[in-house]
């Protein structure tokens, strides 16, 4: 066998439905929708259970029935657990399709895959590393991507209602930050500060761009409070329109209704 996987075993916390916001975003992404036949999607660091990898396949299958998911985990014990789960899936004893195109293997940031992945999803993995580890991890993972492929690296809370992620291109350059929030009962968008990707989580301080971005989100969300009567999605849309008017070049306008905001990386990058 080859050399040891790159990285280290960390806490395996995961949960059903936790990554739904990220999966739905990936399912609509042009990198996946425009990919050639049989696109490979890697789920790196799936944790103590294989459930979020199975959910990823199920969600992507709806838009790309030919998608294949390779789920990688650095902890061999967790690979064994997930393979047992997969046996149950194959036996038709779970809500997942018995034919789900998912495999569970051991691997790390070197991404041992039989062909180049179109997407790598690494959620809640780098969180337990140091900020200084991020560039190398991004470089290793993106070096494996298919041309036009993307790395989706981010963090969310336990139940997936507060999520943020970075889209990184095959050249290892970060492109956008997306914040995705459950709007019902949302007090302030800056709740996302606690769940920023590792590259930004220590940067939410005065003088940093991410700090300005989160403050601007809070300000416009509060100013749009009169629209609450029409529902939180209307209020979010109004707040995002005001962000745009104030000069924030937000992307993916059609996704505002979902409580999302995507901003070019250079507007939030650490100084």
Ligand X SMILES: C[S@@+](CC[C@H](N)C(=O)[O-])C[C@H]1O[C@@H](n2cnc3c(N)ncnc32)[C@H](O)[C@@H]1O
Write out the residues near ligand X by the rule CB under 6 A: 5-14, 18-19, 44-47, 52, 72-75, 78, 108-109, 123-125
Q: Which helix (H) or strand (E) holds 152?
A: strand 150-156
Of 54 and 250, the one with the shorter C-beta distance to ligand X is 54
Q: Of the two residues 51 and 240, which places its CB atom closer to ligand X in the complex?
A: 51
Distance of CA 183 to the CA centre of its chain: 18
Instruction: Select 46 or 213, whichever has its Cβ closest to ligand X.
Output: 46
Q: Where are the alpha helices (DSSP H) in 91-231?
A: 134-142, 198-201, 209-223
Asked if residue 25 lies in contact with residue 260, where contact means CB atoms within 8 angstroms, the answer is: yes
Shortest distance in whole angstroms from residue 72 CB to ligand X: 5
Quote the least distance from Cβ 222 to ligand X, whole Å.
30
- C-beta closer to ligand X: residue 55 or 68: 55
What Rg value do the Cα atoms of the chain yield, rounded? Answer: 18
Residue with smaller CB distance to ligand X, 140 or 211: 140
Nearest approach in angstroms of CB 126 to ligand X is 8
The SS3 call for residue 154 is strand
> Are the C-beta atoms of residues 256 and 240 closer than 8 Å to each other?
yes
CB of 123 to ligand X, least distance (A): 4
Distance of closest approach, residue 129 Cβ to ligand X, in angstroms:
7
Return the number of the residue (70 or 243) whose C-beta is nearest ligand X.
70
Min dist CB 50 to ligand X, Å, is: 10
* Integer Cα distance of 187 and 118 in angstroms: 36
* Nearest residue to ligand X on Cβ basis: 7
Q: 103-139 in b/e burial notation, b at 16+ Cβ within 10 A?
A: bbbbbbbbbbbeebbbbbbbbbbbbebeeeebeebbe
CB burial class (10 A; 0-12, 13-18, 19+) of residue 72? buried
Q: Are 56 and 160 in contact (CB under 8 A)?
A: no
- Least distance to ligand X, CB of residue 60, Å: 15
Nearer Cβ to ligand X (54/214): 54
Q: Which residue has the tokens 């849309």?
A: 237
**Phi/psi-derived region of residue 189, left when phi > 0, alpha when psi is between -120 and 50, beta in every other case:** alpha
């Amino acid at each position: 066998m080859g050399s040891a996987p790159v990285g280290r075993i960390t806490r395996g916390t995961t949960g059903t439905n936790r990554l739904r916001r990220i999966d739905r975003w990936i399912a609509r992404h042009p990198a996946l929708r425009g990919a050639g036949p049989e696109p490979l999607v890697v789920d790196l660091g799936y944790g103590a259970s294989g459930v979020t990898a199975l959910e990823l396949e199920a969600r992507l299958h709806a838009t790309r029935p030919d998608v294949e998911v390779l789920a990688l985990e650095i902890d061999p014990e967790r690979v064994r657990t997930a393979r047992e789960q997969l046996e149950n899936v194959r036996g038709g004893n779970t809500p997942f399709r018995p034919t789900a195109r998912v495999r569970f293997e051991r691997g790390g940031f070197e991404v041992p895959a039989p062909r180049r992945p179109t997407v790598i999803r690494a959620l809640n993995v780098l969180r337990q590393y140091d900020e200084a580890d991020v560039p190398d991890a991004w470089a290793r993972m993106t070096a494996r991507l298919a041309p036009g492929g993307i790395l989706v690296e981010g963090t969310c809370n336990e139940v997936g209602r507060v999520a943020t992620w970075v889209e990184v291109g095959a050249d290892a350059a970060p492109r956008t930050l997306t914040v995705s929030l459950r709007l019902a009962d949302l007090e302030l968008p800056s709740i996302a500060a606690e769940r920023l990707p590792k590259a930004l989580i220590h940067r939410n301080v005065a003088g940093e761009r991410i700090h300005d971005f989160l403050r601007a989100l809070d300000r416009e969300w509060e100013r749009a409070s009169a629209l609450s009567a029409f529902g939180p999605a209307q209020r979010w849309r109004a707040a995002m329109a005001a962000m745009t008017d104030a000069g924030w070049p937000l992307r993916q306008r059609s996704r505002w209704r979902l409580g999302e905001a995507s901003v070019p990386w250079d507007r939030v990058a650490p100084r």
